[in-house]
Structure 1
Amino acid sequence: MSATTPALAPEVLEAQARIREAGLANGDILAPDLAEARAATKRYQAFLNRGGPEMAAISEHVLETAPPLPLRLYRPHGVDGALPIYLHIHGGGFGFGGLDALDRWKREIAEDARIMVAGLDYALAPEHPYPTAIQQVLAALRWLRGEEAAGLGVDGTLVAVGGDSAGGNLALNALLRLRDAGEALPRLGVIIYGMLSADHGTYSHKQFGGGSYGLSTAKLERFWSHYLPDEAMRQDAAIMPLRSELAGLPPLLLQAAALDPLLDDTINLEHKLQAAGVPHALTIYQGMPHGFIAQTALLSKARAARVEVTAALLAAFR
């Protein structure tokens, strides 16, 4: 690595060494065995999820979508009555992850903000390509406003939605579809290093897409090919939020990793939000790679990003 090449922060290198010592690595979509790659990701995420706060209650529910949609609710200690709720949609290129993705982070958000948090096990590609996942996300948001969720202590008038990576795509697309349908919008959207376009010719892809920082252009290309088997769909504004009109969205919090091939997706989103007059804030976390928010036990900047999300949620629900 040359002197002019951006370097991972020392704490990231230390965290990577600890993960290697544990014999773990995130799953690789380019590996020949998809099932084993997903299993590797589950083991990696289980390591990152260790510790963190205990919840007053964690409950799981199944929504009657096609296929059925598992949903998990986290309720913190020390709060009574109906609570605001934040639905977070996990990343993984539309093809990896599940209910346990970011489990520690979601518990930390619930405790810090004194709200309920929800996670989804949306159907993965290539077995379930577009539009299954976005349909399930919309079903979950509508369920959170309904009577069954109210009976579980959810205040359906105080909802926020967010996601990381592919989950950022799904969260932003859900906001756009609710807006277009004239439905009540969540109070806040949180888009964390969103996978918002299939444009692999951006500067950040050229600078960070070789794989030295983890996520690569080749991996993103495989994820997109699984999610959108018809390449012409990559031009569809209903799938690619950066091709959509963004006016009329609720306030958005954007977070990005500085050493991420997807960095320009977030920067381009920020430019479009500014032009559309949508309230927003953007933080780019220097020295961080894609996926860093999952490592709150290891990285100070992951904890700082979590604090920022918590503050935005509190402001939105105030």
Structure 2
Amino acid sequence: MPDGFAAAPYETRIDPELARTVRLFRRVDHGDPHAVRKEAARRIRVARMAGLWVAEAEGVRVEDTVAPDGAGRTVPVRVYRPESGTAPHAAVLYLHGGAFISGDLDFEHPRCLEMCRETGAVVVAVDYRLAPEHPAPAGLDDCDLAYRWLLGAGARALSVDPERVAVAGTSAGGTLATGLCLRAREQGAPSPRLQMLLYPVLDDRLETPSALAFTDTPAWDSRNCAHMWEHYLGPGRRGEAPPYAVPARVGDLSGLPAAYVMTAEFDPLRDEGAAYARRLADAGVPTELHQFAGTFHGFDTLATATVSRRALAEQYAVLRGALR
């Protein structure tokens, strides 16, 4: 186990298969975005060399393209299209994680391949702009552009049914997914069928029990949360966020699309995800909340572990059900 983790009281409660992978997660100071990006690239290489998640491309056509807004601005996207099935297809707009400061179209390529193959839906991954070079709302603006394209010109080009679209996001991508749904509601735009929020980032106040307790958990700990929000919102802007940038601060959650929220037991983001799910349910939004025991942030990217396979199978089943 890495320094600082061995003495943690939850060490023996981490799922044994996941515990064997902890050494992959070097601690990196999220105050330095360049170091974070370098470490993210290293983790992808190591995980793939170790065979922890190597999804098969068979049955899926992959194309890098751009989503235009019709006014000269474009956002890079990667489109995953099933080679079988009947058109028009359902679709998932997928928003990667990375603490707002790292990630690209390769970041969760295996997940998108597998999601396309297992759900039969077209998956559109968005290469949104990153902080701190592009603080909020730049990333959300890019995701919103891609979403509107997918409902319009993209749907026609990809043989997608615009009435059967979901949005899914992991970690910081969960922030963007919730922000997209909130913005669509306020602007009267069509809502997705489902918002799938996987260990989402939602609250910049960092006051939940899990945020206060989990200072040295694998993959992600609360010490880096403050850096993450500072990069995303801009220096000194915590508590003064642009609209939809901090979903937990939004007062009215009524009228939002159905939600599936997944949290990990040993994740500083656990309690804010659960609290947001409860607020959605209280506002009348059909909501499922699933916490996976013995897991940490991003655990399902270690896809050979039994608990990860169970989580992924559940995600795909939920998407298939929502997009029928």
TM-score normalized by the length of structure 1: 0.90
Which of the residues 252, 256, 267 maps onto 1:260? 267
Amino acid in the other structure paired with 1:48 = A
The 1-side partners of 2:68 and 2:82 are apart by: 26
Contact 1:89 1:171 in 2 (8 A): yes
Task: Give the gaps of 5 or more residues in structure 2.
Answer: 1-5
1:218 paired residue number = 223
Amino acid in the other structure paired with 2:56 = P
Q: How does 1:299-318 map to 2 (within 5 A)?
A: 299-318=305-324
Which of the residues 260, 268, 271 maps onto 2:278? 271
Assess, with a 3 A threshold, how the Cα gap between structure 1 residues 26 and 152 changes in structure 2: closer, same or farther.
farther
TM-superposed CA distance for 1:2, in Å, is 6.2
1:131 paired residue number = 137
Task: Give the gaps of 5 or more residues in structure 1.
Answer: 20-24
1:195 paired residue number = 201
Percent identity over the alignment is 30
1:110 paired residue number = 116
1:243 paired residue number = 249
TM-superposed CA distance for 1:12, in Å, is 0.9
Q: Does 1:9 align with 2:15?
A: yes
The 2-side partners of 1:14 and 1:135 are apart by: 39
Q: How does 1:45-60 map to 2 (within 5 A)?
A: 45-48=44-47, 51-54=54-57, 55-60=59-64
Higher deviation after alignment, 113-122 or 5-14:
5-14
Assess, with a 3 A threshold, how the Cα gap between structure 1 residues 131 and 27 changes in structure 2: closer, same or farther.
farther
Helix, strand or coil at the partner of 1:184 = coil
Assess, with a 3 A threshold, how the Cα gap between structure 1 residues 79 and 29 changes in structure 2: closer, same or farther.
farther
Assess, with a 3 A threshold, how the Cα gap between structure 1 residues 133 and 150 changes in structure 2: closer, same or farther.
same
Q: Does 1:28 align with 2:33?
A: no
Which of the residues 233, 237, 240 maps onto 1:228? 233
Assess, with a 3 A threshold, how the Cα gap between structure 1 residues 302 and 202 changes in structure 2: closer, same or farther.
same
The 2-side partners of 1:39 and 1:79 are apart by: 39
Structure 1 residues 146-174: Cα deviation after superposition (integer angstroms, max 9, x where no partner): 12442223222211001011110100010
1:207 paired residue number = 213
TM-score normalized by the length of structure 2: 0.88
1:62 paired residue number = 66
Contact 1:48 1:104 in 2 (8 A): no
Contact 1:27 1:37 in 2 (8 A): no
**CA RMSD, Structure 1 to Structure 2 (Å):** 2.2
1:101 paired residue number = 107
Amino acid in the other structure paired with 1:289 = F
- Residues matched between the structures, number: 309
1:37 paired residue number = 36
TM-superposed CA distance for 1:289, in Å, is 0.6
The 2-side partners of 1:241 and 1:11 are apart by: 33
The 1-side partners of 2:246 and 2:60 are apart by: 38
TM-superposed CA distance for 1:177, in Å, is 0.6
